[in-house]
């Protein structure tokens, strides 16, 4: 078991990797606790939940909207939850986003904690305090930053993930390696079979490395005014693919990373050899596909991107495996490169 801490001026969050999720009972207040989960997790693990009120939502991205937040807030109110209440999220990225968002706005803020059940959530989404819902076709446009009291990452829960959900999470693990941990990248390269076999000891180590890196970044820059922007590697193009083609987040981000890596190479930031190495690793997990998106569709998504400032976007480039940088790039240049890449593919 490993414990990692996110320390920000406003809060301290504890991420526990390798501990059984049932131990969450020891971390909860004695009263005023409710569980938020989704229908899939409730079916798999509901019989082992603590004896608490449970509010379940439909699994998947369709639940990430304000109407669901309003529904859940009503359930909290009807259950008598006040400012001393506590929300326990048991689920993946969508459930943790909903629970964190709700905890940050209900009665102007109550406490929350997460049991993170998916690989994507364990290596990325549940750490860092970002909570968001979608606004129409715009990803995570309405949101807050609020640190959970704790996050439990139990690798044994990953054994029940559908294959596509598990692979989707691998893209965020690879993203972390590309932007800031060359050693992690090399471990992934040399452990393909064990990763695909879901070796729990290996997954504990990989999740710990990913969470440790993100915790360091968030502790330095919680509000994403500088360093934290590197965590968006692959997301500018990836969010467009995810929303326009209804692709799972990790697969969309993988395609976004391919585009960003090609863009980095064109600008001379990364060598052709390292570019190929990154793309080869994404392909070894079958994360890449071709997604035709028209110029108008891509422009619509990118012009609503949260990273946009005027006519520029803070775009994340790789400068070699384990190194990254953020540069202000015009929206027109980003669109122009996408068109060139698409037409060449």
Q: Is CATH 1.50.10.20 what the domain over 163-197+222-344 is classified as, yes or no?
A: no
Mean pLDDT of 201-223: 97
Q: pLDDT tens, 312-342?
A: 999 999 999 999 999 999 999 999 999 999 8
- Pairing label, strands 312-318, 130-135: unpaired
Give span(s): CATH 1.20.1090.10, the chain. Answer: 163-197+222-344
Closest CA to 237 of 326, 288, 305, 327: 305
Three-state helix/strand/coil letters over 286-325: CCCCCCCCCHHHHHHHHHCCCCEECCEEEEEEECCCCCEE
Confidence at 246, pLDDT banded by 50, 70, 90? confident
Mean pLDDT of 212-226: 96
Give span(s): CATH 3.40.50.1970, the chain. Answer: 2-160
Neighbours of 20 (CB within 10 A): 11
CB-based contact 216:209 (threshold 8 Å): no
Confidence at 147, pLDDT banded by 50, 70, 90? very high
Distance CA 132, CA 204 (A): 27
Confidence at 306, pLDDT banded by 50, 70, 90? confident
Q: pLDDT tens, 53-71?
A: 999 999 999 999 999 999 9
- How is residue 297 written in tokens? 């569709």
Total residues found in the chain within this entry: 345
Choose the most confident range, by mean pLDDT, from 49-53, 138-142, 246-250, 310-314: 49-53
| Span 2-160 CATH architecture | 3-Layer(aba) Sandwich (3.40)
Give the angle 166-188-124 at the CA atoms, nearest 5°.
Answer: 50
The secondary element (H helix, E strand) that includes residue 244 is helix 235-245
What's the pTM?
0.94
Distance CA 334, CA 331 (A): 5
Query: Taking 80 as the threshold, does the pLDDT of residue 96 lie above it?
Result: yes
Q: pLDDT tens, 262-300?
A: 999 999 999 999 999 999 999 999 999 988 888 888 888
């Amino acid at each position: 078991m490993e414990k990692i801490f996110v320390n920000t001026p406003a809060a301290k969050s504890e991420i526990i990797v390798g501990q059984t999720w049932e131990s969450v009972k020891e971390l909860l207040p004695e009263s005023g606790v409710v569980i938020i989960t989704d229908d899939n997790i409730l079916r798999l693990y509901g019989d082992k939940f603590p004896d608490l009120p449970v509010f379940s939502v439909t699994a998947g991205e369709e639940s990430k909207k304000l109407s669901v937040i309003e529904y859940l807030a009503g359930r909290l109110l009807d259950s008598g939850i006040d400012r001393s209440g506590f929300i326990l999220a048991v689920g993946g990225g969508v459930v943790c986003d909903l629970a964190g968002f709700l905890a940050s706005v209900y009665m102007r803020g109550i406490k929350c904690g997460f049991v993170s059940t998916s690989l994507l959530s364990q290596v990325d989404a549940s750490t860092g305090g970002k909570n968001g819902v979608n606004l129409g076709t715009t990803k995570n446009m309405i949101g807050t930053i609020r640190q959970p009291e704790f996050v439990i990452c139990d690798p044994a829960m990953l054994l029940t993930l559908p294959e596509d959900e598990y692979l989707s999470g691998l893209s965020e693990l690879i993203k972390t390696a590309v932007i800031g941990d060359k050693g992690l990248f090399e471990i992934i390269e040399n452990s393909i079979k064990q990763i695909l076999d879901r070796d729990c000891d290996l997954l504990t180590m990989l999740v710990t490395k990913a969470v440790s890196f993100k915790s360091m970044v968030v502790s330095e820059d919680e509000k994403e005014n500088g360093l934290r922007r590197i965590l968006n590697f692959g997301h500018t193009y990836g969010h467009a693919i995810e929303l326009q083609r209804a692709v799972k987040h990790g697969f969309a981000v993988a395609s976004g990373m391919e585009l960003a890596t090609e863009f980095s190479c064109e600008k001379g930031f990364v060598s052709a050899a390292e570019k190929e190495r990154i793309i080869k690793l994404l392909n070894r997990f079958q994360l890449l596909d071709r997604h035709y998106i028209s110029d108008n569709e891509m422009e619509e998504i990118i012009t609503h991107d949260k990273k946009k400032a005027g006519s520029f976007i803070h775009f994340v480039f790789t400068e070699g495996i384990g190194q990254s940088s953020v540069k202000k790039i015009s929206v027109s240049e980003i669109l122009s490169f996408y068109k060139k890449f698409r037409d060449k593919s």
